[in-house]
């Protein structure tokens, strides 16, 4: 069985909260190497006024969350074992394939 260094969803989120915040809120610089002082904006970033407006509307936040989940599954930005830890069943791999590597 493939082990991840995280034992629970809470541990994973605590270790990667900056990236999660950047991807869901679509910040300009917070998630690029997790440093706000980077010179280059993120391609997914939006202005601060639009981030505040999206918080009020809620729907764009849900859409961003779904896109993060889709990218983790189909673009392989997360290992399948970590995907299973966060969201349960992986859409592309069975549990046996993940456990056997």
- How big is the chain by its Cα radius of gyration, in Å? 15
* Residue-wise pLDDT tens digits, 34-83: 566 667 777 777 787 888 887 888 888 888 888 888 888 888 778 888 88
Q: What residue segments make up the domains of the chain, in order of their start?
A: 9-100
Q: What is the mean pLDDT of the chain?
A: 78
Q: Given this model, what pLDDT does residue 78 score?
A: 81
CA-to-CA separations, 53 to 25, 31, 59, 60, in angstroms, rounded: 11, 20, 11, 9
**Token pair in block for residue 51:** 């981030």
């Amino acid at each position: 069985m493939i082990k991840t260094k995280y034992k629970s969803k809470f541990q994973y989120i605590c270790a990667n909260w900056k990236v999660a915040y950047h991807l869901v809120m679509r910040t300009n610089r917070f998630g690029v190497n997790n440093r706000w002082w980077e010179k280059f904006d993120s391609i997914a970033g939006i202005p601060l006024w639009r981030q505040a407006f999206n918080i009020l509307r809620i729907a764009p936040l849900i859409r961003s969350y779904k896109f993060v989940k889709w990218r983790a599954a189909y673009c392989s930005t997360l290992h399948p074992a970590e995907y299973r830890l966060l969201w349960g069943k992986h859409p592309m791999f069975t549990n046996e394939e993940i456990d056997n590597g």
